[in-house]
């Protein structure tokens, strides 16, 4: 798949930039040359300038004063003129372009594997730090890898590093950085890949196998599972940014493990990890500094086009991990069907067990109460209104799954179910709706996102936006 995409992009660029002339830096900046490919080729030109300067030797003769300021000035002016006018010859253009396309595309999909192979280029043994930084400079995307590797070598005082250690270093940095990624971080990181493939004629979105290779290299197993589920459900070979936004938003929700309830403990806050620690026995003084990968993460500014930006999230109070989040409730609850009884949720809630839901009414009393009144506290005022909202959000068969959804996804809370349906009805896009599901269902009630009710509910909501 990667080779097929690269070949299509190469054919397109070769048609736009035929091998009938030399190409300098100005030509490489013209459309439709993608930015990662142009960056690679420009760096190749600059490396040629540096190599040419190293071979320019003054005429070796005692008859001339080569150290005279005028002579030195003339030599510097000559080298400066060379640097301003480099060009890839027409007879070498095709080979240069093909390699630039292949390496740039592979780097955006699997940066660790590509950088390791490119930097060492089949060489055994170790490479000096200067050569490593110079070869990593061919790639514009993921600058944190290049900067972190260079800083690591300087901090450790290493002049050389072997291939295996280099690969482990990049993998550790990449995976540590990805641990705290959220939806917008992933989309920001993948933006160069989406932009590159927009230059391929007829290519809509990114092939799913390429994205799976990307997330597999980062050990993002939850995202991989969600992505595979999405592909099987839609029978699609590619995915666009909006659809990926929905996949990532749902993958953020942690899947509760079938273990004993958490025990209330006061674990001390862990100190920050020392920068580039290779073992837990690093000096204590180094542990006080912020790891470089975190510094690069803090410096990254995630920016998405307005049409991809998710809706603003309501302000939430910090919730301890061992205490389940209570379902959202509307502000006003003026009417109650049953006489008030002591509210059991008013007692302090133990962290080691979930919050108890209101007890169901006896069967005889429930049968005498209209169904819609059980949802009244969720803002629904009539049976017709409830049915209309369900039909708009979940489709024609919504009412048949109502009891199962309330029981399995909302902890038995009819109010939370009605409230969430109203929010979903107001959503204008699937990314917005997926954020609501993640927040009001999966996080609030600690729901397993792979359970049958969760999958059915998510698919029903998504179907509304697919049909739009």
Q: Count of alpha carbons within 13 Å of 9, Cβ hemisphere only?
A: 30
Ramachandran class of 395: left when φ > 0, alpha when ψ lies in -120 to 50, beta otherwise = left
Name the phi and psi angles at 396, rounded to 5.
Answer: -65, -35
Neighbours of 147 (CB within 10 A): 18
Tell me what pLDDT residue 433 has: 87
10-residue mean pLDDT profile of the chain (468 residues): values are 93 96 92 93 90 70 82 85 90 96 97 95 85 92 88 87 93 86 91 93 92 94 92 92 90 56 46 38 42 48 40 42 45 39 42 42 41 50 80 82 87 84 87 84 76 84 80
Evaluate whether 226 touches 247 at the Cβ level (below 8 Å): yes
Q: How far apart are CA 390 and CA 50, in angstroms?
A: 68
Which sequence spans correspond to the domains of the chain? 1-108, 363-467
Q: How far apart are CA 418 and CA 376, in angstroms?
A: 8
Q: How far apart are CA 278 and CA 294, in angstroms?
A: 16
Residue 242 CA: distances (Å) to CA of 223, 231, 290 = 15, 14, 34
What single DSSP character describes residue 80? H
Residue 447 burial (10 A CB sphere; 0-12, 13-18, 19+): buried
Tell me what pLDDT residue 354 has: 43
- Cis ω for the linkage preceding 336 (within 30 of 0): no
Tell me what pLDDT residue 396 has: 81
Tokens for 447, please give them: 């729901």
Residue 130 CA: distances (Å) to CA of 149, 166, 194, 276, 296 = 11, 14, 32, 19, 21
> pLDDT, tens digit, for every residue of 393-446?
888 877 678 888 888 888 888 888 888 888 898 888 888 888 888 878 887 777
Q: Coil, strand or helix: which one is 104?
A: helix
Tell me what pLDDT residue 464 has: 83
What single DSSP character describes residue 225? H
Closest CA to 183 of 11, 310, 284, 8: 310
Q: How far apart are CA 388 and CA 133, in angstroms?
A: 62
Tell me what pLDDT residue 329 has: 46
Evaluate whether 274 touches 291 at the Cβ level (below 8 Å): yes
Closest CA to 449 of 229, 239, 235, 260: 229
Own/partner pairs for 151-160, CB < 8 Å, 24+ apart? 151/276, 151/292, 152/276, 152/292, 153/129, 154/129, 155/275, 155/276, 156/276, 158/129, 159/128, 159/129, 160/126, 160/127, 160/128, 160/129
Q: What is the CA radius of gyration of the chain?
A: 30
Evaluate whether 142 touches 111 at the Cβ level (below 8 Å): yes
Q: How far apart are CA 151 and CA 149, in angstroms?
A: 6
Evaluate whether 416 touches 327 at the Cβ level (below 8 Å): yes
CA angle 151, 157, 163 (to 5 degrees): 75
Tell me what pLDDT residue 53 has: 78
Evaluate whether 371 touches 385 at the Cβ level (below 8 Å): no
Tell me what pLDDT residue 458 has: 86
List, in order, residues 6 or more apart from 341 with CB less than 8 Å away. none
Tell me what pLDDT residue 194 has: 95
Tell me what pLDDT residue 178 has: 84
Query: Which residue(s) pair with 162 in the sheet?
Result: 126
List, in order, residues 6 or more apart from 362 with CB less than 8 Å away. none
């Amino acid at each position: 798949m990667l080779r097929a995409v690269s070949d299509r992009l190469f054919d397109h660029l070769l048609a736009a930039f035929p091998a009938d002339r030399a190409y300098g830096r100005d030509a490489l900046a013209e459309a439709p040359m993608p930015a990662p490919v142009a960056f690679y080729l420009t760096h190749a030109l600059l490396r040629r300038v540096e190599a040419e300067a190293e071979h320019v030797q003054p005429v070796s003769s005692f008859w001339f004063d080569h150290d005279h300021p005028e002579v030195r000035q003339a030599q510097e002016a000559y080298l400066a003129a060379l640097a301003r006018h480099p060009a890839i010859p027409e007879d070498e253009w095709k080979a240069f372009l093909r390699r630039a396309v292949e390496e740039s595309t592979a780097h955006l999909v699997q940066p660790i594997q590509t950088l390791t192979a490119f930097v060492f280029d089949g060489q055994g043994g170790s490479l000096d730090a200067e050569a490593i930084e110079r070869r990593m400079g061919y790639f514009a995307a993921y600058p944190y890898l290049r900067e972190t590797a260079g800083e690591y070598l300087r901090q450790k005082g290493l002049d050389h590093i072997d291939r295996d250690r280099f690969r482990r270093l990049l993998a550790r940095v990449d995976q540590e950085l990805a641990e705290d990624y959220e939806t917008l971080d992933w989309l920001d990181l993948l933006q160069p890949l989406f932009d590159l493939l927009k230059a391929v004629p007829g290519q809509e979105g990114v092939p799913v196998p390429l994205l799976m290779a990307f997330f597999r290299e980062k050990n993002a197993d939850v995202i991989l599972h969600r992505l595979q589920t999405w592909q099987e459900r839609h029978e699609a070979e590619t995915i666009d940014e909006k659809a990926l936004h929905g996949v990532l938003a749902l993958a953020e929700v942690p899947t509760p493990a079938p273990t004993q309830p958490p025990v209330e403990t006061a674990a001390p806050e862990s100190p920050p990890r020392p920068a580039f620690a290779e073992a837990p026995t690093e000096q204590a003084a180094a542990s006080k500094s912020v790891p470089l990968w975190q510094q690069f993460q803090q410096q990254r500014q995630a920016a998405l086009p307005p049409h991809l930006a998710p809706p603003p999230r309501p302000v939430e109070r910090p919730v301890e991990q061992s205490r389940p989040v209570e379902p959202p409730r509307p502000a006003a609850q003026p009417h109650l069907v049953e006489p008030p009884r002591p509210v059991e949720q008013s007692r302090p809630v133990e962290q080691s067990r979930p919050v108890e839901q209101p007890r169901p009414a006896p069967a005889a009393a429930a049968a005498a109460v209209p169904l819609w009144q059980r949802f009244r506290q969720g803002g629904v005022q009539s049976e017709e209104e409830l049915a209309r909202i369900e039909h708009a959000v979940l489709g024609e068969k919504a009412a048949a799954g109502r009891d199962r959804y309330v029981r399995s996804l909302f902890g038995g809370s009819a109010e939370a179910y009605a409230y969430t349906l109203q929010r979903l009805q107001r959503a204008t896009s699937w990314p917005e709706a997926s954020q609501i599901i993640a927040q009001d269902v999966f996080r609030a009630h600690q729901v397993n996102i792979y359970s049958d009710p969760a999958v059915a509910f998510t698919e029903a909501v998504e179907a509304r936006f697919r049909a739009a």
